[in-house]
Amino acid sequence: MAYVSGDVTIGDKSTVWPAAVIRAEETGSINIESNTHIQDGSIVHNSDGVLRIGRNVNVGHSVVIHALSIGDNCLVGNNATLLEGVELGDYCLVAANAVVLNGTKVPNGSFLAGVPAKIRPISPEQRLMLETTADGIFDTVAGYPDFNGGR
């Protein structure tokens, strides 16, 4: 079972998987847009302002997000951490286990890897993968007996 608390909006065809926690404090809110997937064991937390997670985003297993924003068509790999104030542009790929440091502003079309994460441009192949990374996840979860329409 997932835990969703506070001022949280989850868009159409988006999913929140078992053991995920999405928690907005009293002075914060979280807006997860359409076709975005928060996988098992991930934590999304916001205590101030609005945290936007864009369209067609795939957040892998056991990810920790304290960021300000995640753009459209992004993939955040398993066990990655986005610390306070991170702004991730569109078409960004965050490698598994990467740690994106406080206040990092990541331009569109970036690949981040390492601890701390280093930023470099994505390849054409990576960009193509990001265009379809969230596709099919909604259809997969639809077969689960406790699926409630993607929200």
Residue 93 maps to which CATH number?
Answer: 2.160.10.10
The letter for the amino acid at 25 is E
Q: How many domains does the chain contain in total?
A: 1
- DSSP annotation of 51 reads E
Residue whose entry in the numeric block shows the structure tokens 């990541």:
106
Per the domain annotation, does 151 fall within a domain? Answer: no
Per the domain annotation, does 149 fall within a domain? Answer: no
Per the domain annotation, does 148 fall within a domain? Answer: no
Which has the closest alpha carbon to 76: 34, 31, 106? 106
User: Is 130 buried (19+), middle (13-18) or exposed (0-12) by CB count in 10 A?
Assistant: buried
pLDDT of residue 135: 72
The whole-angstrom separation of Cα 148 and Cα 151 is 6
pLDDT of residue 150: 45
pLDDT of residue 69: 98
pLDDT tens digit at each of 151 positions of the chain: 899 999 999 999 999 999 999 999 999 999 999 999 999 999 999 999 999 999 999 999 999 999 999 999 999 999 999 999 999 999 999 999 999 999 999 999 999 999 999 999 999 999 998 988 767 676 666 666 665 554 4
pLDDT of residue 133: 75
Quick check: helix, strand or coil at residue 75? strand
pLDDT of residue 151: 44
The whole-angstrom separation of Cα 14 and Cα 2 is 13
Which has the closest alpha carbon to 3: 45, 52, 33? 45
pTM: 0.91
Which has the closest alpha carbon to 67: 52, 55, 82, 89? 82
Q: How many CB atoms lie within 10 A of CB 14?
A: 23
Which has the closest alpha carbon to 61: 74, 34, 80? 80
Per the domain annotation, does 150 fall within a domain? Answer: no
Per the domain annotation, does 30 fall within a domain? Answer: yes
Domain extent at residue 30: 3-141
The whole-angstrom separation of Cα 32 and Cα 145 is 23
